[in-house]
């Protein structure tokens, strides 16, 4: 057995130290600039920083979670008015009022987000837009509270230890420090578990759920976090300006903020800062060059810029700069490292299993051989008039491999979809380890110990191999949002341990050299291996493999068979759907044959090969559809 202790730390975090240094440098430059800039430029700097705080939240929400919000201006406005009202009417300290505003907006965002986040894509954008319009109208019309269109003044400035922040320079110092803190928090979130889960949901929500990621609560938490950032910006703004009215919080401001996030680069924290800076400066330049260019003109310009960027340059300035940087460093290294994709599709897998995995499997109750772990009874699944599964009964004990075979359209994938929670059965029961799981969502089923791979490989293409595995490892373990925001040493220690485990699993499936390769860049065979590593990270008690050998060459199939045997020896129950009959006959303990959703035979491979009903089903299918002959190369295993 190979111990995980000597495994190398993964590389994708290697750049963090350098980035930390750059961030520190940027902070010192901003502080130094604050000391020397004139009043006009300080005011612009303050606006850049106030916007940057909101944009950072949007980067986390839109870039990392894939949720588009046109309602951020409303959260800024509510934060601003709450802090302004609390300080002017109730004489509360601006600091306390600011915290109260953030709390209130956090609660409100949770209430608004619950129904809104049920909507997807454009509908969510429309929902947040409607929310923004309602809030803006409220600010205009609720005179007794907001002072109506003309707002109100007399809002106190921040002060601490006898220093009052009532000049552009003092404000700039305060904002530089607070923006640095917010950037640090955003960066922690962006590098941690929550961001990995969010990016997984963005790449494929269904797959993330099948790994045990609770997608609904994840989206809600990001929505709340982005809203709290917006409230912080609003609260700071009113105590710096000392006046509040609804005008700055209109729809235009929401578009402006989203444009800043897109222009800067939606998946980059420093891109968010850059976007806020570039667009604020451009707006100012436009205002001085064309005095009438406000309101509608700006809206049109920002809208156009947003569309152009999304179509032609979706990775924004940050993406462009990063690519240029990589290009330059590659040129400087003389392209010595550029070739490296010639490895076989599925390299020989490691001989050994990581110790921690064996131990965790031994501790699992599924380690008792012979006990039925999965019991499917009377399972029927209809799609309108089509019966995909009819009165199906199956049991799968631990430590056994049950192959499910049948002609195309027999219902095999439907069966997997029901067991893993992607489909609810029409009738019948699915019992796993004593739990009724039929009709349950995929995430809780995954957390009970059911892992799966997909017929059409479903890796998270824009994440590295290491991150793909980490998402599965972290679904149950790892820090929550608050701990991720602060990233205490304890949190970093847990992250390091999980990264080591992820590296072990990559080594186990022969992908040790690809920890920092984007999963989408791998050839098909290696993507299948990655799916297996990810499934193993779930420490499954039942593993559903949907056509894992399709697209692999004979030597890759042999490797895969060896890997599957090793997994079974760990005590994992395996269900295998596969058209390659030779592959199936060599691996299966038992075979269940489906035809038109019904089980027509079940038994050990030798019996199934000679079963007349099975032969008839396969040959009948071949006659009906010549395709089957090619997609079923293993037909020679049937009726032989
Ligand atoms: N979501 C769905 N909506 C409607 N019909 C569906 C759906 N999923 C599957 N079906 C139908 O149910 C039947 C069984 O499909 P299923 O994909 O489970 O078969 P299969 O045995 O996995 O086939 P293959 O070997 O081609 O993957 C097919 O007729 C299919 O068209």
Mean pLDDT calculated for residue range 6-12: 38
Dist CA 638 CA 640 (whole Å): 5
Decide which of 132 and 122 is more confident: 132
pLDDT in tens, 457-499: 899 998 999 999 999 998 877 667 777 787 777 778 888 889 9
Question: Any idea which of 114-123, 358-367, 587-596 has the lowest mean pLDDT?
Answer: 358-367
Q: Is 413 in the pocket of ligand 1 (CB under 6 A)?
A: yes
How far does CA 304 lie from the centroid of its chain?
A: 29
In angstroms, what is the span from residue 447 Cα to ligand 1's centroid?
A: 26
Retrieve residue 374's tokens. 């999965």
31 contact partners, CB below 8 Å, separation of at least 6: 173, 176
Mutate to test the pocket of ligand 1, among 381, 385, 387, 388 (most ligand atoms within 8 A of CB): 388
- Measure 456 CA to ligand 1 centroid, in angstroms: 13
Lookup: tokens for 192: 């941690």
Can you tell me the mean pLDDT for 267-285? 87
Tokens of 377: 């009874």
Output the CA 457–ligand 1 centroid distance in Å.
Answer: 17
Q: Give residue 218's pLDDT.
A: 85
- Give residue 596 CA to ligand 1 midpoint distance, Å: 10
C-alpha distances (whole Å) from 373 to each of 152, 397, 400, 604 are 67, 5, 10, 19
The average pLDDT across 517-538 equals: 90
Q: Report the separation in Å between the CA atom of 542 and the middle of ligand 1, taken as the mean of its atom positions.
A: 22
Residue 298 has pLDDT above 70, yes or no: yes
For the Cβ of 409 lying below 6 angstroms from any atom of ligand 1, the answer is yes
Across the range 61-69, mean pLDDT stands at 86
SS3 state at 256: helix
Residue 293's pLDDT is 63
Q: What is the mean pLDDT of the chain?
A: 83
Burial (0-12, 13-18, 19+ Cβ within 10 Å), 58: buried
Query: In this model, does residue 343 exceed pLDDT 60?
Result: no
Protein residue closest via CA to atom 16 of ligand 1:
411
Structure confidence at residue 620 as a pLDDT band (50, 70, 90)? low
Tell me the per-residue pLDDT of 365-424, one tens digit each, with 9 for 90 and over: 554 445 588 999 999 999 988 998 999 999 988 888 999 998 888 899 999 999 999 999
Measured from the Cβ of residue 344, the count of other Cβ atoms closer than 10 Å reads: 14
Q: Residue 111's pLDDT is what? A: 94
Between the ranges 91-95, 218-222, 614-618, where is the mean pLDDT highest? Answer: 91-95
pLDDT, average across residues 603-620: 79
**319 — pLDDT class (breaks 50, 70, 90):** confident
Tens-digit pLDDT profile for residues 101-120: 999 999 999 999 888 887 77
Of the candidates 308, 293, 322, 202, the one whose C-alpha atom is nearest the C-alpha of residue 263 is: 308
How far apart are alpha carbons 118 and 107 in whole angstroms? Answer: 18
Evaluate if residue 131 carries a pLDDT over 90. yes
Residue 349 banded pLDDT, cuts 50, 70, 90:
low
Torsion, Cα 591 595 596 597, to 10 degrees, reads -20
Is the CB–ligand 1 distance for residue 406 below 6 Å? yes
Atom in ligand 1 nearest the alpha carbon of residue 414: 18
Taking CA atoms only, the protein residue closest to ligand 1 atom 28 is 409
Q: Are strands 435-436 and 427-432 parallel, antiparallel or unpaired?
A: antiparallel
Give the pLDDT confidence score for residue 294 in this predicted structure. 66
* Distance from chain centroid for Cα 342: 29
Whether the predicted pLDDT of 339 surpasses 70 = no
Residue 596 beta carbon below 6 angstroms from any ligand 1 atom: no
CA 371 from centroid of its chain's CA atoms: 36
CA of 210 to the centre of ligand 1 (A): 19
Whether residue 28 is predicted with pLDDT greater than 70 in this model: the reply is yes
Say what percent of the chain tops pLDDT 90: 36
Helices (H), strands (E): how many in the chain? 26, 14
Nearest CA to 545 among 529, 558, 526, 559? 529
> Tokens representing 95?
């600091």
The domains located in the chain, with CATH, are 18-251 (no CATH), 355-460+536-623 (3.40.50.300)
395: β partners: 375
Residue 101: CB atoms within 10 A of its CB come to 28
How many angstroms does the Cα of residue 446 sit away from the middle of ligand 1?
22
């Amino acid at each position: 057995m190979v111990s995980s202790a000597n495994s190398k730390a993964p590389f994708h975090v290697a750049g963090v130290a350098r980035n930390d240094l750059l961030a520190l440098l940027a902070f010192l430059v901003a502080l130094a600039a604050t000391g020397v800039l004139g009043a006009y430029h300080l005011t612009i700097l303050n606006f850049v920083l106030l916007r940057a705080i909101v944009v950072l939240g949007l980067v986390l929400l839109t870039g990392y979670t894939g949720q588009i919000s046109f309602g951020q201006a409303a959260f800024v406005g509510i934060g601003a008015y709450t802090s302004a009202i609390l300080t002017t009417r109730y004489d509360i300290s601006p600091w306390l009022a600011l915290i109260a505003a953030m709390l209130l907006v956090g609660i409100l965002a949770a209430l608004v987000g619950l129904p809104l986040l049920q909507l997807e894509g454009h509908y969510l954008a429309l929902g947040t837009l409607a929310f923004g319009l309602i809030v803006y109208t409220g600010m205009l019309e609720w005179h007794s509270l907001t002072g109506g269109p003309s707002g109100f003044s007399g809002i106190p400035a921040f002060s601490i230890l006898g220093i009052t922040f009532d000049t552009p320079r003092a404000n700039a110092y305060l904002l530089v420090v607070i923006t640095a803190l917010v950037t640090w928090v955003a960066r922690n979130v962006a590098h941690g578990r929550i961001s990995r889960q969010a990016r997984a949901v963005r790449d494929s929500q269904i797959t993330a759920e099948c790994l045990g990621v609770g997608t609904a609560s994840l989206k809600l938490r990001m929505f709340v976090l982005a809203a709290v950032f917006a409230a912080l910006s609003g609260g700071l703004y009113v105590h710096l300006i000392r006046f509040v009215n609804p005008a700055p919080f209109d729809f235009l401001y929401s578009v402006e903020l989203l444009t800043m996030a897109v222009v800067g680069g939606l998946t980059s924290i420093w891109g968010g800062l850059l976007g806020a800076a570039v667009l604020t400066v451009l707006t100012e330049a436009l205002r001085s060059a064309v005095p009438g260019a406000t309101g509608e003109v700006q809206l049109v310009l920002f809208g156009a810029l947003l569309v152009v960027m999304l179509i032609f340059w979706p990775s924004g300035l940050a993406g462009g700069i990063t690519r240029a940087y990589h290009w330059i460093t590659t040129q400087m290294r003389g392209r010595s490292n550029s070739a490296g994709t010639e490895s076989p599709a599925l390299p020989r897998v490691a001989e050994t299993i990581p110790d921690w995995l064996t131990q965790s499997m031994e501790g699992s109750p599924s380690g008792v051989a012979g006990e039925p772990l999965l019991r499917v009874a009377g399972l029927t699944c209809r799609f309108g008039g089509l019966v995909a599964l009819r009165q199906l009964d199956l049991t799968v004990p631990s430590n056994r491999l049950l192959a499910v075979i049948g002609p195309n359209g027999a219902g095999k994938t439907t069966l997997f979809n029901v067991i893993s929670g992607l489909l609810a059965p029409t009738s019948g029961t699915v019992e796993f380890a004593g739990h009724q799981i039929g009709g349950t969502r995929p995430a809780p089923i995954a957390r009970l110990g059911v892992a799966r791979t997909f017929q059409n490989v479903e890796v998270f293409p824009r994440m590295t191999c290491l991150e793909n595995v980490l998402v599965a490892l972290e679904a149950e373990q790892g820090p929550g949002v608050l701990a991720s925001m602060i990233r205490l040493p304890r949190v970093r220690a847990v992250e390091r341990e999980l990264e080591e485990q992820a590296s072990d699993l990559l080594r186990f499936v022969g992908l040790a050299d690809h920890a920092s390769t984007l999963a989408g860049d791998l050839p098909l065979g290696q993507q299948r291996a990655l799916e297996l590593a990810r499934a193993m990270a779930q420490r499954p008690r039942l593993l559903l493999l949907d056509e894992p050998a399709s697209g692999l060459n004979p030597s890759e199939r042999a490797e895969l068979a060896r890997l599957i045997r090793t997994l079974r020896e760990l005590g994992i129950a395996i269900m295998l759907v596969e058209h390659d009959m030779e592959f199936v006959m060599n691996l299966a303990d038992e075979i269940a044959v489906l035809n038109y959703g019904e089980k027509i035979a079940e038994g050990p491979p030798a019996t199934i090969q000679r079963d007349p009903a099975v032969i008839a089903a396969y040959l009948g299918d071949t006659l009906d559809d010549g395709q089957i002959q090619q997609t079923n190369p293993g037909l020679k295993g049937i009726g032989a």
